[in-house]
Structure formats: C-alpha cells, structure tokens
Structure 1
Amino acid sequence: MYDVTALGELLIDFASRSTDAAGYPTMAANPGGAPCNLLAALSTYGCSTAFLGKVGDDAFGKLLLGTLQRVGIETAGVVADPSVFTTLAFVAFNAAGERSFFFARKPGADSLLRVSELRLELIDDCRDFHFGTFSLTCGPARSATRKAVEHAKSRGKWISFDPNLRLSLWHSPAEARRWILWGTKQADIVKISDEETSFLWGDVSPKEAAQKLHTAGVSVVFVTLGPKGCYYSGNGFDGSVAPPENIRPVDTTGAGDIFGGSALSRLLKTGKALDALTNDDLEGAARFACCAASLSTQTLGGISSVPPEGAVRRFMEQC
C-alpha cells in the first residue's frame, strides 16, 4: 500500500550558475520534475510513494531512476523508452533566486506516456493520487493523465493537484487556463500559488481564490504566497501562516512542490478522512510545509533539496 502515487514529469534541471567570458552559462544538473519533488518530500517525511512516468533509455534517464530509488520512490511504473530523450529543463535565476524555465521537450519522454503503459495497480494500492498540469500540456500524456485521474476517482482515492503553471509549454494562455480548471474540478486537495490564482481569476485574495476552489468541489486548499507564507482553507476553517524570518533563498526550484509534499504528508499522518480534518490539522500542515519549503531554498535543486524532518522540526521551534 502506497500513501501517494503521482503521475507526471521526471527530468533534469540544468541550472545556470555562472557565465564565461563570452557570456555562455555554466550549468549544474539536478534531478527534478514537480511530482517527483513532491514524492521526495513525502518519502523523506515517512510516507510510502510510487511514480508513473516515462524517461528516455539514456544516461539521464538511468540517473533519474537511480535517484528515485535512493530516496525511496517506487519506480515500477516508470517506462524507459529508447526512442526518445529524457526531458531537460534549463533554469535561469534572478538576484532573488526566482527562476525562469526553458524546456527541451519537442517531444520529451514525459510527454509520450501512453494509457497502455500505465501501471494502474499502483493507483489501486494508494491512498492519494497526485497530478499536475505538465502532463496535460499535450498528448499522449494528456490522455494517460485523464485515464489515471478517472481510475483514481472510481476507486475512491484522495486526489491532489498542483497547477504548476509553465506558460511556455501551452499553445495559449486560454488552453492553460482551461486545463488547470479541469484539474481543480477533479481534486480534493489543491496546492496553488498566488501567481496561479492571479492567472486564473485576476486580482483576488487568497480567501476568494480558496472559495472558488471549494465551489468547484475542492475540500482542502493551500495558497502559497512566496515570501509571505501561505493561506489554508478547509472544512469551514481557514487561516494564514507566516514564513520563517531571515531566509535568503539560494534556489527556489522545487520549493512549491516540497511545500505540497510536506503538507500532504502531515494530512496523511493524521489518519483522518478529509472531512474530519480540524483547524489544528490544517494549520499544522501549513506550518510544517512553510518551514520545509523555506529550508529547501538554501540548497540547490528540487529532489536533492528536501530537508530532513529533524531539521524542519528544529527550525519550527525557532520560528
């Protein structure tokens, strides 16, 4: 039995660290992909996890599979395809550590996951099924994602969703908005950023955004607010959690995913049904996730930046 099975992208993040005299960047390679960053956090914080996806049968694909196995993520649902390259992402940073993404994905292996390649038993054996929009940007992965969501819902699983908006991967903003809204309507738990709420609904408050998601059928909402912390809402409870002070980000790659995995780990650890979660449960999950995500920004990469639970607990005591 797995606590969480996720579907989506597993890729290499190439992060720009310096430039040579001619202006060409020196890149550092890190394992990543939003759902795998989330699963790495869940695994670190005591949850059992599995992944459904596709990589190339190449050097990068083999490295990524080895990384997932080392952090405790089940890889039986990962296809290694010799006909296509593992997806690559190139990440540039500004002075605040915020990122811009450029993708080598025309196509990349992750976008070619097919319905026939899904190991649906990994969904049958989980408590929560997680997905994002990366796998909804094009087919055949879009069809595979829809099938997996349909299967999970038919089995009564929790469904968690992260919009993880990357506009450059979509044909148009309208298409991105349509599929993000489709994802929210499938989900019980949504982690969404303030940038994404602005994209969907314009100038709305976190509370107004959460209410729109509740109206769509979402039970629990976490709205991340970057350096301002997060807002949570569910079961008639809501509140805000301030971020830890004196954090200067080195690399924010994966921080939102690590927030999502950290919060989800706390909800699962309660052993409660979603409609039985209390304000203490939701606030505790948000506070733990804020601290874990903040600590993750002190280390390069996504999967590799998940802080140990002990470090998060000590950090929480200081805040």
Structure 2
Amino acid sequence: MMRHLVSIGEMLIDFIPDQKGKSLAEVKTFTKMAGGAPANVCAAFAKLGGKAYFMGQVGQDGFGDFLIKTLKDAGVDTSYIKQTLDAKTALAFVSLKENGERDFIFYRNPSADQLFSEKDIDVDVLEHSILHFCSVSLLGYPISKMHEKIINEAKQKKAIISFDPNIRKALSLDDTFYRSIVLDYIKHADIVKISDDELFFITGFDYKQDALRFLSKYNIPMLIITRGKDGVDIIINGQTIHEDGLAVKVVDTTGAGDAWIGSFLYQIAFHDNIIDIPSVTLQEYMKISNIFAALTTTKFGAIDAMPTQEELEKHL
C-alpha cells in the first residue's frame, strides 16, 4: 500500500517580481504566488496523484485564504491547516537575477505559521506515512517544539522521515546556531536532501569531499545532493548514484528543489523500506524528478509552475 505524505511547517506568500535582473529597490511590480517549502513539496506530491496532508497555520486573512485554496486546488488535504487571528500570514519578497536565481526579504516576526503548536497536531495521520519538514520552522517558537513532538511520534509509528534543510540565512542572526539546529535534526531523518551550496554551509567545510566525510558520521540512510543543472547524487548503502541534469530555459528557480523532493517522495512512497530500493530503480526516480523540477523552472512561481502527472508524462 502506498504511503501518504504529511508535510509540516511554513506556508507563505511569495511576491515574485515582474522584472528579472533588478534589485528589490528597483522592482516596481510583483505577482502574488503561494509558497513555503513544505507546502510546495506537499503540492508536488499531490499533483502527481499521491495523498498529501499539510499541517501548519496561516493567518485568518485574505493571504491565508488564498494559500489554503491554492493547496486544495493542487489536490492537498487541508483539513489540518489552522487559521489564527493572533498573527498574519508570512510574506516573502523575491528578487530574480537574470539566470533565475533569487534573493529574499521575509516579513514574519512572528507570523501565523510560527505560532502553530504541538496541541494543534493530530498524530493519527502519521500511520503509514512519509513525514517531511524543513529548517525554517525550526527557528520559530512554538512551532519548533511541535516539530520535536511530531518527529518522535512519527518514529514510533515507523514513518519515513524526510528533511530538506532549505537553508534561509536571512532568517537567522547566528549562522553557528542555525547550523547546529540543522545538524541536530539530520540525526532524526531517513532521507536528507541538501543542495550543493547548503552542503558547505551546514558542514562548515569548503570542499565537497571534506563535507561529505563530515556528514558520513551521521549515518544518514539516504543522502541526496542536488546540484542544479549538474544533476543530483544519492548516497545510499555506501554507494553514490548520479543522474545528469537537464538543460532548459530557466525562468524562475523558486520551488525547484521542493518540486524535486516532492516528486521523488511520491515515487518512493510505493516502497516500505528505502534502503531496499534497487539502484537502477532509484536512478529512474532521479531522472523523473529531474524532469519534474526542470519543468517547474520554466514558469514563474512554485506550486502554480509544477506540472501535473499528465504534463510530466509528455516529457518521459
């Protein structure tokens, strides 16, 4: 039986600039898009046909209503999303470089997502699930305490635990503190996805082999290193599997990593034990996720840019 996905953490509004190659001081107009890495992953999983639940909180405001509707339209079960009057929905303003890479300014101090607490969670949904989370919510309170509780519950229910740090240094005043939190939660994960840039921040090493040697002591069952156009590596059972990237005309990289891991989790959801998946099967999953993520970068935004199952199949 296929596992379902439970994704926890932040959901926010991304304001994407209508002009590329300009700083936030120079951009004149923005387009409102649904975002937040855990929400993006949830949408990717659901768009491919999987059962996906998002657990988190938004403000009881127009932005919160928009986010809930966007996830519903993507096929996500939103029954575990709370709305509050105690804080507003988080906002992120994005500037796009000519190559589609981004810079961020966040407005969330505190925002509604950070006030989601352990009393708001339902642990029954964790049965036969994949639990996915990111690092942004580990910097807020009380949502960080909620993560501790739900991860412990997920372990007891033998869920697969997936962690994508999705580092946002703009949200932390102390890189050392941020790094220590990420490393602490890596210990609890069955799957860890890190971009090549994040690899050096998280480990503190400047060279890939040194960084990977450092991470090896954490005995991560499946370590995924995404490398943009250069493809992806998976380190599992003492071997490294590589799949080349795809060359596409990049419009916006927002949500590309989320699209990758969301589509990958959908594929491994058909397996009970990730370490028993044959290498040749993993390689095929990597290829499909590379296509899914590449297609996402050809449009603006994250969730709205993700292909459906039918759109993906046209490129397989």
Q: TM-score range by the shorter chain?
A: over 0.9
CA contact (8 A) 1:54 1:79 kept: yes
Q: Name the % identity.
A: 32
Cα distance change of structure 1 residues 204 and 282 upon mapping to structure 2, 3 Å threshold: farther
Q: Any gaps of 5 or more consecutive residues in structure 2?
A: none
Structure 2 matches for 1:220-239, cutoff 5 A? 220-239=222-241
Partner of 1:280: 280
CA contact (8 A) 1:210 1:233 kept: no
Structure 2 matches for 1:1-319, cutoff 5 A? 3-18=4-19, 23-123=26-126, 125-201=127-203, 202-205=205-208, 209=211, 212-245=214-247, 247-269=248-270, 271-316=271-316
Distance in 1 (alpha carbons) for counterparts of 2:201 and 2:93: 23
TM-score norm. by structure 2 comes to 0.93
> What is the SS of the residue equivalent to 2:93?
strand
Aligned length: 310
CA contact (8 A) 1:163 1:183 kept: no
How many angstroms does 1:299 deviate by? 1.1
How many angstroms does 1:209 deviate by? 4.6
CA contact (8 A) 1:252 1:297 kept: yes
CA contact (8 A) 1:213 1:221 kept: no
After superposing on structure 2, the runs of 4+ consecutive aligned residues of structure 1 that deviate more than 6 Å are none
> What is the SS of the residue equivalent to 2:78?
strand
For 1:69-95, what per-residue CA distance to the aligned partner results, in whole angstroms no more than 9, with x for missing partners? 111111121110012100111111111
Cα distance change of structure 1 residues 122 and 54 upon mapping to structure 2, 3 Å threshold: same
How many angstroms does 1:211 deviate by? 5.4
> What is the SS of the residue equivalent to 1:305?
coil
Q: Which amino acid is the alignment partner of residue 82 of structure 1?
A: L
Q: Which amino acid is the alignment partner of residue 187 of structure 1?
A: A
Q: Which amino acid is the alignment partner of residue 93 of structure 1?
A: L
Cα distance change of structure 1 residues 24 and 286 upon mapping to structure 2, 3 Å threshold: closer
Q: Which amino acid is the alignment partner of residue 36 of structure 1?
A: A
CA contact (8 A) 2:94 2:103 kept: yes
CA contact (8 A) 1:184 1:213 kept: no
Distance in 2 (alpha carbons) for counterparts of 1:314 and 1:173: 43
How many angstroms does 1:214 deviate by? 4.6
How many angstroms does 1:212 deviate by? 4.4
> What is the SS of the residue equivalent to 2:187?
helix
Distance in 2 (alpha carbons) for counterparts of 1:148 and 1:170: 23
Cα distance change of structure 1 residues 157 and 24 upon mapping to structure 2, 3 Å threshold: closer
Distance in 2 (alpha carbons) for counterparts of 1:214 and 1:152: 24
For 1:212-254, what per-residue CA distance to the aligned partner results, in whole angstroms no more than 9, with x for missing partners? 4453132112100012111112123322111113x12101000
Q: CA RMSD in A?
A: 1.8
Distance in 2 (alpha carbons) for counterparts of 1:33 and 1:114: 18
CA contact (8 A) 1:136 1:145 kept: yes
> What is the SS of the residue equivalent to 1:186?
coil
How many angstroms does 1:197 deviate by? 0.4
TM-score norm. by structure 1 comes to 0.92
CA contact (8 A) 2:3 2:269 kept: no
CA contact (8 A) 1:161 1:184 kept: yes
Q: Any gaps of 5 or more consecutive residues in structure 1?
A: none
Distance in 2 (alpha carbons) for counterparts of 1:161 and 1:255: 16
Distance in 1 (alpha carbons) for counterparts of 2:26 and 2:199: 36
Distance in 1 (alpha carbons) for counterparts of 2:93 and 2:233: 30
